[in-house]
Amino acid sequence: MTKPKKEWKPTITHVVPKGTKLADGTILDKETTLTQEEFTTIPLLFQTTILFMIYGLG
């Protein structure tokens, strides 16, 4: 009998470039890699800006 394959759980990461401004005003002084969980919980200014551009808000 064959063993069941282990479930593959990839780790999704996002590279955030140096100079990115966070919503709290912090500017990153070096390139940073964030996990998917961190990326969705840390409000990045450019995420908000992109949403405004896509949906015509503001």
Domain count of the chain? 1
Q: What is the pLDDT of residues 13-23, one digit of tens each?
A: 878 888 887 77
Residue 1 maps to a domain:
no
Q: Provide the whole-model pTM.
A: 0.49
What was the pLDDT predicted at 47? 55
- Transcribe 11-54 into DSSP letters: PPEEEE-TTPBBTTS-B-SS-EEEEHHHHHHS-BHHHHHHHHHH
Residue 22 maps to a domain:
yes
Q: What is the pLDDT of residues 29-55, one digit of tens each?
A: 888 888 888 777 776 655 555 445 455
Hey, is 58 helix, strand or coil?
coil
- Residue 32 belongs to domain spanning: 13-55
Residue 37 maps to a domain:
yes
- Which amino acid is located at 6 in the chain? K
What was the pLDDT predicted at 58? 47
Reference 24, options 37, 42, 11, 9; nearest CA is 42
